[in-house]
Structure 1
């Protein structure tokens, strides 16, 4: 719907205009100058204006670290890059997609030779060149545009002098580090196959380049013509006597490379041999201590300090780590007697270890920012003072990421609180993980998991988690899983609240799948399955409308959609006697849904019910008549375009809906599995917006959930690549004109093309 405002007799169109201001480089990060600790928030969620996008990234899991001579460590994480000044422990800057980075989750990073810039590589082949002083970000797509080889992922980046070496899935691309034009490419190493992917690359202090591939290890002087296969000396894995290496480090004293269970080293004049003293624990990185013959090897739960080839010190730690670096102040440990080691954690940011000359630990400090534990959230729910997120129902088969899948709570007062196996002993002891449903009340946040039941976290008056977690699973409650599989494995595929504040859940495919729970109580009450329902109809999803009717998404045991059941549980939910229910499906006489697989249901401000499916959307104009009416009252209407231009008159007929929400103007935001984000008008006859990763800052076209904050107009968008906020103009109307604001003020026809009014009472008419 378009609105007009009359200003001095002239009509000015108020339309929804796309803004990308927060996706461009800004003058300063909101975290710059703050302490590098858990209280410092990296993102400003309070200063959005209509049309703005804000990406919320996790900066906890370290991918790469680079230490500049100025005692600034730059940390690449799965959500972006930030810098910390080590002397004072202050944040220097933060770069995410909000600041122009190409994407979340960089694969590699290097400092330019003068320390004035960063080179950041990504798995799709893109390179970001970041000028640190000006905060300008330039993206290079030379590798992305290459069509010769399918694997364009960037594995390693190194800068030496005026050359930047980029190791990819097909070889090495060499850039001029001043002009950022491609100089040459190394696509073949000796007699090995053309386009061989590089697992890891490093450059030795003498300037020689070392690469690990599936065929073996190759090296060449950086001064040689790298594009000539004959420039490369090679060792096959048979010659080395090892499986292919996952990483390689080129040190002054030699080469160190590792598999998941062994470490091998190369010494000049001697050759390759297994570093048996390193043991069989998986290793991730190694550094030399300047001025000594000591090396530090980073392994899964420890750091080993070696004097020569022998273990001098075993330094255990509890979390998992990916990288280690020495601070630039540790330039000559033999003379200074002090060693500062930086450990890049997969769960806690950067840990700074300070040792004396005998490796006695003097101090340990953690440097991290206040951000979510992970990027993508499967489910988002608004709380009274922020929002709650559940992470994912999918196993990564990864010790770190799977155990992070608990809950993330954001409070406008205290910021982010991550509750998972790494931060909560109750979850750790019960191996609670894979949460993918969420709901919140005034006093509690709930998440439902894939196999671990429900977790309840108490919230204080400000909406901040108190740390008290209660688990409801097959051992601690009446909830049960699918009997044909394992009734002890409780998959919570639906989680909602009703108008009385009562919690309702669906345990996927269980014989008594529906259950309810009064806020704060110790157990759940199981509800009998509706009588007369087909044995093929198993409960999966759940939505509760304003009448407290339960809309239960149905599937067969083979996961084929069976429509949606509308259920009134009556005055006594535990009794079938007062139940009323009807099943709507794709049959023209039983619902007329666009598809039998229902994925989302919402109720709009007019009381209409909108049903999203794997193939389009339908709506019920008078849902009150569903349980008492006939075929006509149970026939859903497909969305029909007011001005059809294609072969079909139906609007969004073939989209795979994943979530829907209603904004303050009764318009509907529609999320899809692979086609981005849509906004349709209140009646469902016209498309107002269509955001994709190609035409907007949207991180991914695969959207998992939506949540709308009617007080602020913030639309929370959970994509497969991260969570974003879009500031929608259509926030909730006020009840009176106490807080009306109009901007820009003063308005100039020469400089402004829109005027924004906020705080208008509901149903206002602007003339």
Structure 2
């Protein structure tokens, strides 16, 4: 091989080489890409407002806007630092700042340049209980934003986005739930939940004093706005009024629970649960919407922008229509899953599946009746509608039949096992149609007619048999054989209180041993090939708690056990074959002079072993840890505070072993991180390097992907000087662009030599580094 010296080239030549490499070499160019992606729902609308030639809609966990001229959609999620608690109100100011109010008092401000500011002033400074800080509404007047909240009114200055003052306007100066504010004739009006409409002179220097506020109207009101130089209000008696002085004059009525009253452009918009009214400047009714065709849902927000009507719904997203006529509605929400709450996630051979049901810590079903969200990169989101499997609730674990990938199985934690073929044919398997050796319903003494079949822990063995557990029965281990027959195994002689036992996930090791996480009995190991041999690992055998939430067998044959109170490992699953008792041990890590147990007393919700044998561990309300294969090093630590995780409550972890994408299913949406741990390929034909070229502003690592497992990899400069070498674990290697960790390598072209351990497969790649 002939190597050419190019270290002394000038900047123009460097740019030419960079262009040549980019165009000519078959390399994937992903420079400076964000390693995070969001998979959020935009269906659960909480508020809708008009902006500057755009409509803005909020969900519980995100925000999106539609430009009316271009039709472009923009989303704001945890991926771009918008991390709400629960969104309760949204507002777009005259300066094009978007204010997002939350249930806990947090205010998030999106600036015109797209940057995000979190304002915890109300959380930190307002002296009321944390559950009394909900943001109800925003109103702008003369460069100030008046925030209506559960405790009173906080005023923000638009010039510096800081708090000016806070008003507590209860009759005795106590906090008071303020629903909405408006200004009319230099007086500020506040609609309160329990003390009618109050007002004060806006220019009064002592306006912060509750005694300066008087009762304008003592009725029960839900909204008040200034519209066309008059006050207009909505009362809880289901009427709309305009005020002539202090006299309320009814001009319309509604027959549904009222929610919000807004003035938008030249229109007045009133929204109730099942009605949206639009009035012109003369308060003449222009349109009334009772429902959206073919959508069974209630309304959660409404706005008018440029003579278009927008209505938000609780489960189906945002709809657009003309004001008159308003019978042609178009859904304008971005694509996304059914809802943000993601219980279980599964990467099948060509799709991502998310279920939205589940169970609580004691495995009690939530009885949620939802469909299934599926995502394919080439087609986007689609849905398996709940109407296809009537009354099948609490959907959780998903399994793809690797012997027939058209078949998927989904556990219902109440109704049995749902078999889905081609995403179109649905069969419910339960105690009525799987025979004497199949699934069983629990027995509930107070009501013998109550039926609940609760499978969990789906896993497939190398022979194509599908194994699962069945809660609350003696024959708790079930298997659907590849020939369609069912078989059951009785665990009651090995565990305590079998008819009250519930189960988490299950793993099958190379020997065919089933490792089962249980709620009351620790880990249950079973292998039918050895005379139904069963061994239990519980708190008497090294576990910190008998409530085992998850198990994972790693690539070295170790069993990782996640419990309600910490982590344990079994050194080798082969011990099951030769020992009568198994004991689990902890992992002790050294931090300086301090030795401590890894994940001591932590509630571990999930463990996933990646292609490099490293472990991703989800800790309840504490985010995710990525630790080395032996647990001694923390490779990544992701929380809501330091990453795009929308919540620290990560319910499930899944990895695309081809791309290395790590998915985190949380109670507030699903996100993914493009990791470097991928499954080894069968050859080196698809090996690639990214990013390429590496530009000066890039601070991440270089990934060499598409590798076979355990290949030898060497990187040299153009003169042949070695700067890095390693043996791959899985299908991807990362290089920090240093010479063996000592210093950053210089600009230039670097050669990557890749060879399988037997030298039967080899390839060479190039990468350009520009400092």
**Superposed pair shares fold, TM > 0.5:** yes
Q: Please, which moves more after superposition, 269-278 or 532-541?
A: 269-278
1:601 paired residue number = 551
In structure 2, which of residues 711, 714, 719 is the aligned counterpart of residue 764 of structure 1?
Answer: 711
Matched pairs, number: 661
1:354 paired residue number = 322
Mapped partners of 1:314, 1:136: distance in 2 = 37
On the 8 A contact 2:496/2:521 being kept in 1, the answer is: no
Q: For each residue in 1:589-641, what CA deviation from the matched residue of structure 2 results, as whole angstroms up to 9, or x when unmatched?
A: xx32232111110111122211111122222222123144233xx12222132
- Report how far residue 98 of structure 1 moved: 1.4
> In the alignment, does 2:343 pair up with 1:367?
no
Q: Please, which moves more after superposition, 248-257 or 264-273?
A: 264-273
2:674 paired residue number = 727
> In the alignment, does 2:392 pair up with 1:432?
yes
- Report how far residue 146 of structure 1 moved: 1.3
> In the alignment, does 2:41 pair up with 1:76?
no
In structure 2, which of residues 572, 580, 584 is the aligned counterpart of residue 636 of structure 1?
Answer: 584
Q: For each residue in 1:158-213, what CA deviation from the matched residue of structure 2 results, as whole angstroms up to 9, or x when unmatched?
A: 22341111123322111111221222211224x24422333x21426767433223
1:124 paired residue number = 104
Q: For each residue in 1:421-479, what CA deviation from the matched residue of structure 2 results, as whole angstroms up to 9, or x when unmatched?
A: xx44234xx233332322233213333233233333334xxxxxx44433345566664
Secondary structure class of the residue paired with 2:478: strand
Counting only pairs closer than 5 Å after superposition, residues 304-319 of structure 1 correspond to structure 2 as: 315-317=290-292, 318-319=295-296
Counting only pairs closer than 5 Å after superposition, residues 449-488 of structure 1 correspond to structure 2 as: 449-459=412-422, 466-473=423-430, 479-484=439-444, 487-488=450-451
2:356 paired residue number = 391
1:541 paired residue number = 504
Secondary structure class of the residue paired with 1:425: helix
On the 8 A contact 1:374/1:404 being kept in 2, the answer is: no
Q: For each residue in 1:524-577, what CA deviation from the matched residue of structure 2 results, as whole angstroms up to 9, or x when unmatched?
A: 83614235234513242231313333223333xxxxx32121112349xxxxxx
Shift of the 169–159 alpha-carbon distance from structure 1 to 2, 3 Å rule, reads same
On the 8 A contact 1:62/1:78 being kept in 2, the answer is: yes
Secondary structure class of the residue paired with 1:451: coil
- Report how far residue 671 of structure 1 moved: 0.7
Counting only pairs closer than 5 Å after superposition, residues 94-493 of structure 1 correspond to structure 2 as: 94-103=75-84, 105-114=86-95, 116-132=96-112, 134-146=113-125, 148-151=127-130, 152-189=133-170, 191-198=171-178, 200-203=179-182, 208-220=188-200, 222-225=202-205, 226-234=207-215, 239-240=218-219, 247-250=222-225, 252=227, 254-257=231-234, 267-268=243-244, 277-279=253-255, 281-286=256-261, 297-303=270-276, 315-317=290-292, 318-330=295-307, 340-356=308-324, 360-361=325-326, 363-393=328-358, 405-419=370-384, 423-427=385-389, 430-441=390-401, 442-459=405-422, 466-473=423-430, 479-484=439-444, 487-493=450-456
- Report how far residue 49 of structure 1 moved: 7.3
Mapped partners of 1:117, 1:205: distance in 2 = 23
1:42 paired residue number = none
- Report how far residue 483 of structure 1 moved: 0.7
Shift of the 404–375 alpha-carbon distance from structure 1 to 2, 3 Å rule, reads farther
In structure 2, which of residues 544, 553, 563 is the aligned counterpart of residue 613 of structure 1?
Answer: 563
Q: For each residue in 1:642-694, what CA deviation from the matched residue of structure 2 results, as whole angstroms up to 9, or x when unmatched?
A: 5674364x322322111001112111111111322112221233333333333
RMSD: 3.7
On the 8 A contact 1:582/1:627 being kept in 2, the answer is: no
Q: For each residue in 1:267-296, what CA deviation from the matched residue of structure 2 results, as whole angstroms up to 9, or x when unmatched?
A: 4457579999533x433335679889xx76
TM-score by length of 2: 0.76
Shift of the 520–580 alpha-carbon distance from structure 1 to 2, 3 Å rule, reads closer
Q: For each residue in 1:479-513, what CA deviation from the matched residue of structure 2 results, as whole angstroms up to 9, or x when unmatched?
A: 44321366512333433333333333323223444
Counting only pairs closer than 5 Å after superposition, residues 510-521 of structure 1 correspond to structure 2 as: 510-517=473-480
Mapped partners of 1:411, 1:647: distance in 2 = 46
> In the alignment, does 2:572 pair up with 1:622?
yes
Secondary structure class of the residue paired with 2:305: coil
- Report how far residue 697 of structure 1 moved: 3.2
Shift of the 542–376 alpha-carbon distance from structure 1 to 2, 3 Å rule, reads same
Q: Please, which moves more after superposition, 608-617 or 540-549?
A: 540-549
In structure 2, which of residues 611, 616, 622 is the aligned counterpart of residue 675 of structure 1?
Answer: 622
On the 8 A contact 1:304/1:315 being kept in 2, the answer is: no
Q: For each residue in 1:5-26, what CA deviation from the matched residue of structure 2 results, as whole angstroms up to 9, or x when unmatched?
A: xxx9xxxxxxxxxxxxxxxxxx
1:18 paired residue number = none
2:39 paired residue number = 56
Mapped partners of 1:374, 1:553: distance in 2 = 28
Mapped partners of 2:251, 2:546: distance in 1 = 60
Mapped partners of 2:181, 2:588: distance in 1 = 59
On the 8 A contact 1:73/1:85 being kept in 2, the answer is: yes
Shift of the 761–206 alpha-carbon distance from structure 1 to 2, 3 Å rule, reads farther
Secondary structure class of the residue paired with 1:413: coil
Q: Which has the larger Rg?
A: 2
Secondary structure class of the residue paired with 1:623: coil
- Report how far residue 748 of structure 1 moved: 8.4
Shift of the 323–641 alpha-carbon distance from structure 1 to 2, 3 Å rule, reads closer
On the 8 A contact 1:82/1:91 being kept in 2, the answer is: no
TM-score by length of 1: 0.77
> In the alignment, does 2:550 pair up with 1:586?
no
- Report how far residue 147 of structure 1 moved: 5.6
Unpaired runs of 5+ residues, structure 1, are: 1-7, 9-45, 331-339, 396-400, 460-465, 556-560, 572-577
1:29 paired residue number = none
Mapped partners of 2:65, 2:674: distance in 1 = 28
Mapped partners of 2:306, 2:62: distance in 1 = 26
Secondary structure class of the residue paired with 2:685: helix
On the 8 A contact 2:607/2:617 being kept in 1, the answer is: yes
Q: Please, which moves more after superposition, 744-753 or 705-714?
A: 744-753
Counting only pairs closer than 5 Å after superposition, residues 572-583 of structure 1 correspond to structure 2 as: 578-583=531-536
2:514 paired residue number = 550
1:562 paired residue number = 521
Q: Please, which moves more after superposition, 735-744 or 282-291?
A: 282-291
